[in-house]
Amino acid sequence: MPAFLRDLRRRSKSSFNRQKSDGTDSSTSNSNNGNGNGNNSVPSMPTTKSSSTLNSSYGGATPPMSNSQSSSNLQTLNGIAPPPPIPPTRPPISSSSGNRHSVSGMSGLGSPSLKSSIPPSPYAPRILSIADNTWVYQKVLSMYGTIADPATQALEGNLTVSRLDDQLPPTYWPVSASHFKALIYLIPGPNRLRFDFTSPKLANSNTTNPIHSSYLTLHMLPRLCAPPLQLVILLAKDSPATFDAVPARIEQEGNGLETAIQKFRMAAYLWQAFTSEQMFRNKLGRRVFRMEEEWITGTANHRDRELGTMRSEAKVHVIRCSKTIAELRDLDLAQQNPKASRSGDLFAIASEAVKDHFKPVPGQKQYVSVLLLDSHWEKASQTITGHAALGGGGGEIQLAIFGSHALHTYPSSIEEVVPAFSDCTPTDTNYVANDCNESGSAWEAANIGIGAHMHETGHLFGCPHQENGVMLRDYVTLNRSFTTLEPYSTRTKSKGGLVLAKDECTWHRLDCLRFKGHPCFALPTDPPRLSDESVQVWLVDGGNVVVTAASGVAYLEIYTEGDDLCHVWQEFGDGNGNGPIQKQVILTEQELRGRLPADRRKSKLKLSIKSVAGGSHEVEDFSLLTSKASRLKLSNGQLAFRSSKLGFSQMEGSQSQEIIFSSAIQKTTLMTCVRVFHGFALDGIEFVYEDSTSQLFGKRGGQPGGSEFNLDTRRGEYITGFYVRSGLWLDGIAIMTSLGRKSPVFGNATGGSGSSLVPPRGYSIAGITGSCGQWVDGFGILITR
């Protein structure tokens, strides 16, 4: 038995013997619990088998014990069953002058604790960007705040951010003119943080226990409800896995694969922190894409690397492609190279390598951002070879690619972020590139590399170029989101200075709206996501246009003739505090033109309409949509309207087709069956009537005899809509009926994207319109009231 247990056992026996000899019970004789205050006594317990036998030798107070030295353990050793645990009581604070507590502003007397009733210091950090007990969904969070009132006091100093549980080391951030910005690395669950401000001009700043402190608790919830953004480093098949860097940096931190992974991972964390904050400022919640993670030695701080602490970090896949370095560098697609040719080759090579690595199944999209590690600065030709800045894709792979020519300037941990964006070391073009002549110093090269790659990742998520923000070229000021002081800029020849939130780079509002509807940005609190993300546009009576979307109409972009960028848009409700979701919206040409500047109101109008679920529909000419070309008069005198069309009608030999249902003209004619001809695409669709007549749209091809879907005429069943899979052409189709039935998808059930063609309220289907080449490549419906 350990010595301390023998000692405690001897004490326990002696106290028990004393209790028997004097006939008293220490649990009652020491009712004040040794503190002189009967109001805070421990509740009495039975004389026998009581924990008071341990208290007697400590003057009635519970002896100090470690977790492994509980009184119940000791009683068990003595053969005494332990009583139920007694709830701990907090001793009262004495009001006597002998127990004075430090107050804010008294130098050297210590910082108030998290639960202290002492008033906080007027110089305690004020977090402006996020509230206490907020839930967030990413690993690294960006925040900003102030010290005191910056309008009356411009304080300089340092902010220390630490965790109360010490699971991560403290980080240090400069305070400039009473403003600060910081990055917080979060662990799943509650993150209890302490913020300490120190300044040579304030009391207590020269001690190890500052008093200018504030506290914040943030709850981090990892998201598994959304597809991840995959990070990939792509290597040539003979690559040495190194990247361009000046000799001093190679000596300091290396330029091998492990360093590249750390820097790329940190760049992606900065993308997340920046995007989440931008979404919040746009009142769209703290939405952000997630990344696949792996359990490895932590790299986001230096202590984890030194101690080998394991953490779940963003996974960086390393893939070798089928090309050699010479072959990749021959495809010099850098913007600086006027001789660039075979545009898209690097993108195709990267796409092929990524698809071979992830092996997506049909219908499963992969979102992949690729760093081309073998990009290389050729001083002689003044070009960057093996580099391309592209984003987009289709099918199962959405892809962004960017070169590694600025990677040497990236931070590899949170501690390096401010130094990286403050490094004025001139770019030595003997070894590394000055990209677009906008990377004349290290911090500017970091902006270009991290920011331009984020721009291409924006394309991956469906963002076009915008009139401002990341999707223009505003990422040249990305540093401002993470620092309060901007150094001298070789790009603008300005000396820099204080940079606040209003000076920062942004995602454009339209980018944020796109992100909100993108599956990668879904939150656990979102309602279930509809598989039907489509938008449909219908001309109806009175020259009005009705927009319908099963998931709701989110917003529309308005373009005038010659516009490459969107300058005017209209938002609708999203169900999250910005109005209710609207599944049907009425548009008028007058109202749309009224939103435009006076000098553009007579221009041709183009609309791009987005659904809440992220779908999109283009109206190339709004006036044409509302013209007589979209109307036709049926033989029974009714007016019918052509819907917007699915498919591109661009197949060789494609010809327009249109049929009007016999049952729509003569109400006594019954449609009894729909016969669909299909293989890997929709070849044709035939409507069969009770009198054995039929109407064919498209061709009788594909599977011999087609597939039949019978209607229940005894119950008056009729067609109310179609579910269509389409892209450039029609991949597959399902029939929807008045009895709530839906046929299987005939054709390719996973091809293209899904859309529901269901007439707006008050209208019914009168026929089919579209086009057919080798198979159906255009499909719409005719509706009538």
- 140, 230, 257, 266, 461 from 314: Cα distances, Å: 11, 9, 16, 9, 19
Q: How far is CA 117 from CA 111, 120, 210, in A?
A: 12, 9, 17
Alpha carbon distance 488, 492 (integer Å): 9
Cβ neighbors of 547 (< 8 A, separation 6 or more) are: 535, 536, 537, 538, 553, 556, 584, 585, 586, 587, 609
Q: Which residue type sits at 351?
A: S
Active site annotation includes 690: no
DSSP state of 628: G
Residue with tokens 């026996």: 13
- Specify whether the CB–CB gap between 622 and 606 falls below 8 A: yes
Burial profile 619-655: b = 16 or more Cβ within 10 angstroms, e = fewer: beebeebbeeebebebeeeeebbbbbbbbebebeebe
Q: E strands within 186-292?
A: 189-198, 213-220, 229-235
Q: Which has the closest alpha carbon to 462: 511, 401, 508, 534?
A: 511
Q: Rounded distance, CA 562 to CA 543, Å?
A: 25
- Classify residue 467 by its DSSP letter: S
**Amino acid (1-letter code) at residue 746:** F
CA distance 404 to 259: 12
Structure tokens at 682: 């929709």
CA distances from 130 to 216, 230, 282, 365 (A): 9, 28, 14, 33
CB atoms within 10 A of CB 716: 10
Q: How many C-beta atoms lie closer than 10 Å to residue 142's C-beta?
A: 23
As a three-state string, the secondary structure of 431-465 is CCCCHHHCCCEHHHHHHHHHHHHHHHHHHHCCCCC
Taking the CA atoms of 337, 343, 349 and 354 in sequence, report the sign of the dihedral they define: positive
* Contact predicate 682/703, CB 8 Å: no
Q: In sequence order, what E strands does 2-137 have? A: 125-127, 134-136
CA distance 621 to 618: 9
Using alpha carbons only, what angle is made at residue 206 by residues 202 and 211, rounded to the nearest 5 degrees? Answer: 60
Beta bridge pairs of residue 400: 369, 391
| Residue whose C-alpha is closest to residue 5's, from 86, 83, 80, 68 | 68
- 431 with 249: CB under 8 angstroms? no
* Consecutive H or E run containing 12: helix 3-22
Catalytic entry in 456, 504, 533, 557: 456
Cβ atoms of 469 and 505 within 8 Å: the answer is yes
The beta-carbon contacts of 12-15 under 8 Å, at least 24 apart in sequence, are 12/53, 12/54, 12/57, 12/74, 12/78, 13/78, 14/57, 15/53, 15/54, 15/56, 15/57
| E strand or H helix that includes residue 249 | helix 247-253
Q: How far apart are alpha carbons 102 and 123 in whole angstroms?
A: 16
**Residues designated as active site:** 456
